[in-house]
Amino acid sequence: MNITQHVTTLGQSLWLDNLSRSLIRDGTLARLIAEDGISGVTSNPSIFQNALAASPYYADDLARLKASEPDAERRYEAMVIPDIQAACDLLLPTYEASGGNDGYVSLEVAPRWAYDAVRTVKEAQRLAAAVDRRNLLIKVPGTPEGLSAFEALTTLGINVNVTLLFSVAQTQAAFDAYIRGLTARAHAGADVRRNKAVASLFLSRVDTLVDTQLTAIGTQEALSLRGKAAVAMARLAYQRYLRVFRGEAFAELTRRGAAPQYLLWASSGVKNPDYHDLLYVEPLIGAETINTLPDKTLAALRDHGQPAPRLEDGVAEAEAQLAELARLGIDMDAVGDTLQDDGVKLFEAAFQKLLQQTG
């Protein structure tokens, strides 16, 4: 058993934060599933923008589509949906072996609908039908409108990866939307046992913004908190997860066979080169969680990771650190809202570049 496989024995799933036709056709994804225990794949507009730029396997399809499909977005979908389907098929044995708990691939609704709940629901339904795989998660942003769409999609039985969460408050709002959607589905007499949702809490971007604010404050006390906000936030979000999904709020749904909404650690590659390359991995290993790893972070974990179940350690310290940030004037809810808005803009910019690549 290698290091990455050992992580999975501790109750955490490792998903790959990357997808391209090269990974599929060259056998890389199949090897990662077999040798590293990778049990899921996430994608986003930035990932597909890089894939289309770097992989040689899209050129023929793109030339054919340019001659037959006038709409750039439909050309993009015609190229990436087969990749999503192929990844779903590779992970289907994982999905089946886990009883539908793992083995998922994520595909994102176009970012321009992040503030339009009705259109997000329609686009999610359309994409789910186009991919037509049981182990697909549709990515919906954790904006207020996105959460409204998430609730509706959950009621409809469409599985969702709620993305672009940057605070405990936003994460709690996602949990609440999931419970409302499942409750409505159950009251309608529908089966909730096949519903699946994850809540993707972004980490490195939180530290990047908070560190900038701490550096501006400049006191020794402030500087000592750099690089600590995201892990502290994640630990407290997990405590919230435990209270919600192992508590009374979810008890009736548990009796009906519903699954909790697992936390997924996103943006887990460090952006500050001075930080340990597994800052957002090793401290956050715990049961009923997922870490979606970029290739570089996965390689670092495989090479020198020291996995242990540390997610429930240091909760009091995490609370003290966030309290100290608040005392210094750093509002973590405001940080989350700023980063969520920025995240939508970044994904929309990547999506527009992606459409230009297919033009």
> Do the beta carbons of residue 146 and residue 170 sit within 8 Å?
no
> With the CA atoms of 228, 215, 142 and 273 taken in that order, what torsion angle do they form, in degrees rounded to the nearest 10?
-60
| Residue 228 annotated among the catalytic residues of the structure | no
> Do the beta carbons of residue 136 and residue 195 sit within 8 Å?
no
How many CA atoms lie less than 13 Å away from 249 in the CB half-sphere?
16
Looking at 43-52, 78-87, 250-259, which range is the least confident one?
43-52
At residue 1 the predicted structure's pLDDT band, cuts being 50, 70 and 90, is confident
| Average pLDDT for 21-48 | 96
The DSSP annotation for 171-229 comes to HHHHHHHHHHHHHHHHHTT---TT--EEEEEE-HHHHHHHHHHHHHH--HHHHTTTT-H
End-to-end CA distance of the chain: 46
Going along the chain from its start, the domains and CATH numbers come out as: 3-357 (3.20.20.70)
| Count of C-beta atoms within a 10 Å radius of residue 74 | 12
> Do the beta carbons of residue 174 and residue 147 sit within 8 Å?
yes
Q: What separation in angstroms does the CA of 158 have from each of 126, 154, 169, 323, 352?
A: 11, 6, 24, 38, 26
Q: Which of 66, 139, 196, 296 is catalytic?
A: 139
At 265, which amino acid appears?
W
* Pairing status of strand 104-108 against strand 289-293: unpaired
At residue 241 the predicted structure's pLDDT band, cuts being 50, 70 and 90, is very high
**Phi, psi of 116, deg, nearest 5:** -135, 100
Q: Tens digit of pLDDT for each residue in 172-217?
A: 999 999 999 999 999 999 999 999 999 999 999 999 999 999 999 9
Q: How much is the pLDDT for 184?
A: 98
Q: Whole-prediction pTM value?
A: 0.97
Can you name the residues that pair with 139 across neighbouring β-strands? 108, 161
Q: How much is the pLDDT for 357?
A: 84
Q: How much is the pLDDT for 103?
A: 98
**Phi, psi of 108, deg, nearest 5:** -95, 135
At 70, which amino acid appears?
P
